Structure formats: C-alpha cells, structure tokens
Amino acid sequence: MSASQTSTRPGRAKKSASRAVQRKIMDRLATGMSWAAMLIVVFVLGSIIWTLLKNGLPGLTASLFTKSMGAPGQDGGLANAIMGSILQTGLAILLGAPAGLLTGIYLAEYGSESALARAVRFVSDMLLSAPSILIGLFVYMVLVAPLGHFSGYAGSVALAILAMPIMVRTTEDMLRLVPLSMREAGIALGAPKWRVILFICVRAARGGIMTGVLLAIARVAGETAPLLFTSLGNSEWSLNMGRPMASLPVAIYQYAGSAYQDWMQQAWTGALLVTLGVLIINIVVRVGIHGGRT
C-alpha cells in the first residue's frame, strides 16, 4: 500500500463523519420545524374550537331548536335555519351524488385517457377549485333571474354543483385502487362488464366512495355565498323549497354583523352547530377510513 493511499483514508473518514453530523443536524432541524408547525396548527384549531365553545354554549337552549328566527329581543331561535340547511344540503346530495358517482365510474372504468375523459376531468378539477360565490352567481343567472324569485331548490342546485367534483374525484381514485385481478376474475366467470363494475369494483371501493360523499356533505354544509344568491333566507318557518328558505350559514352571516346582543349570541351558537356537524362528519370519515384499512 502506497503512502498516498494511507494519507487519503483519514481525510475520507473525516469527510464522511462531518457529513453524518450535518445529516443529523438537518434531520433534527426538519423534525423540530415539523413539530413546531404541528403545534401552531393545533394551537390555532384549538383556539377556534375553544372560542366557539365559550361563546356558543351559553346560547345552546331548547328554544334555539324549537323557535324560528325572530326580531331582536323576542327570544327567537334557529329552528327554521337548521331545518333549511338540512333540507337544502340533503337535496343537494340527492342531486349531486348520482351524477358525481356515475361520472367517477365512467372516468375510472370506461373513459381511460380519451379526449372526452380528459375534458370531463379538467372541468371537474376546475369546479373543485372554483370560488363558491361564482357557482352561486351562475345558478342565480340560470335559475333565479329567469324565474323571478329565490328558492330552496336553487340553493340545493348550487350546493350540488359544489359537491359533485368531490365525489367525482373520490370515486375515480377509489375505483382505480381496486386490483385488476378482481376485474379479470369477474370477466373470466362470464359476468358482463357492468356487473363486474357494480358488484365487484364498486362494492370493493364502497368505503372510499362513502367517504367522498361524507366529505362533500361537510364541504357544502357551511357554504354561505352561493345561498345568498339562490335561497336568500327567510325568517319564518317554511318547508316549501319553492320559496326563499333560511339556512344556518346565512343566518350566521346576518346575525354576526348586527348590533343586538341576542342575535350575536345566536350567531355564535349557530357557528358552533355548523362546526360540530362538520367535525362529526370528519370523525365518521376518519373512522370509516381506518375501519376500511383494517
């Protein structure tokens, strides 16, 4: 062994040791930054939930769920707004779910990379990121302005348009995760393609598909802007969706900027109800995902 080789070995060892030290420092720095970011997010979310609980719980009374919205000082409630949100969100999912699920099935099983599939996927992604107020304005110009009046049906259509892209993307992604061998086994047994998709692929991906539906509900349940252009709001109890209809997000928007203490209290309580509803849906989604994996 030459003298030059023996002299370079200690230098290489020192370089490798210094690199190892640098990697450990960078690893600890990245880990510390990740922990700091997580603690900041947890602190912000915790402070929001704490503020809602502190300001919203005092207004959580029986009259809130039994009385309609009333004038200041008349001990009104949010019963009509709660029912309006349930009706409009439920109808929106009934309208959007079939279209969203069938479109997702087409993109995953039939569309492949055709020009039509690419166009549909592009439009779906655009709707997924579009501001909700633009959707409300579009429905206003298409349904509200020609008919000459606001309605709960128009609000449901706006919410359905917002919900569809979520279900399209989730359904397509979940179906693509189904192994190809399951499809081939069904076809080898002589089943037509539509039966393979319906009874094998969709059943195998039903947990993820239901997750997409629940996420869509959570997405549209707290929307305010599209409802201002479509269903507008109503201070009276009404189950007629052909008329202007109240909703919790719109009631919160109207009450939060008022100068009356009871209205501000109801705004806080309504915000708490919406947050708890979305939180429960997300917990159900997480539990469903965990259960599906196990």
The verdict on 149 and 245 lying in the same domain is yes
DSSP codes joined into one string, 183-218: HHHHHHTT--HHHHIIIIIHHHTHHHHHHHHHHHHH
Query: pLDDT for 220-268, tens place per residue?
Result: 998 999 999 999 999 899 999 999 999 999 999 999 988 899 999 999 9
Angle at 47 between CA 46 and CA 51, to 5 degrees: 120
pTM of the model: 0.86
Final residue of a domain: which of 40, 59, 78? Answer: 59
Total domains present in the chain: 2
The verdict on 192 and 210 lying in the same domain is yes
The verdict on 38 and 121 lying in the same domain is no
Q: Half-sphere exposure of 38 toward its Cβ, with a 13 Å CA cutoff?
A: 6
Q: How far apart are CA 282 and CA 265, in angstroms?
A: 26
Q: How far apart are CA 36 and CA 31, in angstroms?
A: 9
The verdict on 163 and 274 lying in the same domain is yes
Q: Is the pLDDT of residue 1 over 90?
A: no
The verdict on 118 and 233 lying in the same domain is yes
Domain span including residue 237: 62-293
Query: pLDDT for 132-176, tens place per residue?
Result: 999 999 999 999 999 999 999 999 999 999 999 999 999 999 999
